[in-house]
Amino acid sequence: MDFDGSADTEFVKFWNSVLEPKFTKYRHILQGGLSRHSAAVLPNLPIKKGMSVLDVGCGWGDMTLQVAEVVGPDGRVVGIDCVEAFLQEARKDAAAKGLSNVQFSRGDAEVALPENEFDYVVARFGTMFFTNPVAALRRMRKALKPRGQITHIVWRRREDNPAWQKAKDITLRHLPPPGADADTCGPGPFSMGNQETSDLMMKSAGYEDFTFTRVDEKIMVGTTPEECIAFALAIGPRGEVFREAGSELAEAKRPEIESEMRTFFESQERDGHGIWAPTSSWVISARNPS
Ligand SMILES: C[S@@+](CC[C@H](N)C(=O)[O-])C[C@H]1O[C@@H](n2cnc3c(N)ncnc32)[C@H](O)[C@@H]1O
């Protein structure tokens, strides 16, 4: 599955060049927030000792390692991600935990996955960036053995996710939306948020018995209002608006944008760890037919 980065798609190149440093900088915010959505469901998934599991878009691999503990030494887990820097962290964490039943491979899930190999496929916020989602979901299905199962977690619609969307609304009050040729990581975090559309995608990708479970969780969006603002302007759709506006215009508008964002973040729940805002996800589970 390892391959030479020169053949990467423009989206994978974008993940490795533009997004990786920002994700790495804000790992302490991102990982905790994303893991709240899997913590709500992981213990109830029918993943059993001895199973082989694939984690698609595994990032830093914290969920991959949790699954590796569930399947035990007789099972096996493979994490695949298109960003080598994330996988290096994942491998370090696996070694620190002494887990030898886990392997991390760099790969583009839209290009290649092993076939007919896994009992279960999981993905936490790793499928919404697919440029060709039905083909990629079908490829994930083909990675399963017959009757194997998948669970992937995706954000619900933008209006269900104020933690991400409010800061974008503020940014768009001051800056134009990104143009059609903007550099991007793909269709973006809310591309599977509409249940009807995602239902159709799962059907078209050949799955059966699919269920949608809604998870509502507050996640930490920064330790201080200043960090919330810096994080918002760096990552996600609001970060994209700010970046694509060009530094001259974006910097000219920065004081008003930051002031409105401060008002929003200061109105959110705060505790000893940081500031918390509401998010909502779909946990989509399904089966590969026999
Ligand atoms: C929002 S992050 C989630 C990471 C991890 N699953 C988590 O929950 O912490 C999305 C991940 O998908 C990966 N990714 C995006 N497109 C991909 C693709 N086509 N193939 C493999 N990984 C991809 C990114 O590199 C990134 O690590």
Alpha helices in 26-132 (DSSP H): 27-39, 62-71, 84-96
Contacts of 189 (CB under 8 A, 6+ apart): 125, 128, 129, 155, 164, 236, 237
pLDDT of residue 201: 97
Burial of 116: CB neighbours in 10 Å, binned 0-12, 13-18, 19+: exposed
Residue 114, SS3 per DSSP: coil
pLDDT in tens, 221-245: 999 999 999 999 998 878 888 888 8
Residue 103, SS3 per DSSP: strand
Quick one: average pLDDT of 189-198?
A: 94
Quick one: average pLDDT of 54-81?
A: 98
pLDDT of residue 222: 96
Report how far ligand 1's centroid is from the alpha carbon of 60 (Å).
9
Cα-trace Rg, the chain: 19
Q: Tell me how far apart the alpha carbons of residues 70 and 51 are, in angstroms, rounded to a whole number.
A: 9
Q: Could you tell me the pLDDT band of residue 152, with boundaries at 50, 70 and 90?
A: very high
**Any ligand 1 atom below 6 A from CB of 23:** no
Res 1 pLDDT > 60 = no
- Residues pairing with 105 in the sheet: 80
Of 1, 11, 15, the one to substitute when testing ligand 1's pocket (max ligand atoms within 8 A of C-beta) is 15
Report how far ligand 1's centroid is from the alpha carbon of 280 (Å).
18
Report how far ligand 1's centroid is from the alpha carbon of 283 (Å).
16
**Any ligand 1 atom below 6 A from CB of 153:** no
**Any ligand 1 atom below 6 A from CB of 202:** no
pLDDT in tens, 237-288: 788 888 888 889 999 999 999 999 999 999 999 999 999 999 999 999 999 9
Q: Which domains does the chain have, with CATH numbers?
A: 5-160+184-220+279-287 (3.40.50.150)
Quick one: average pLDDT of 10-24?
A: 92
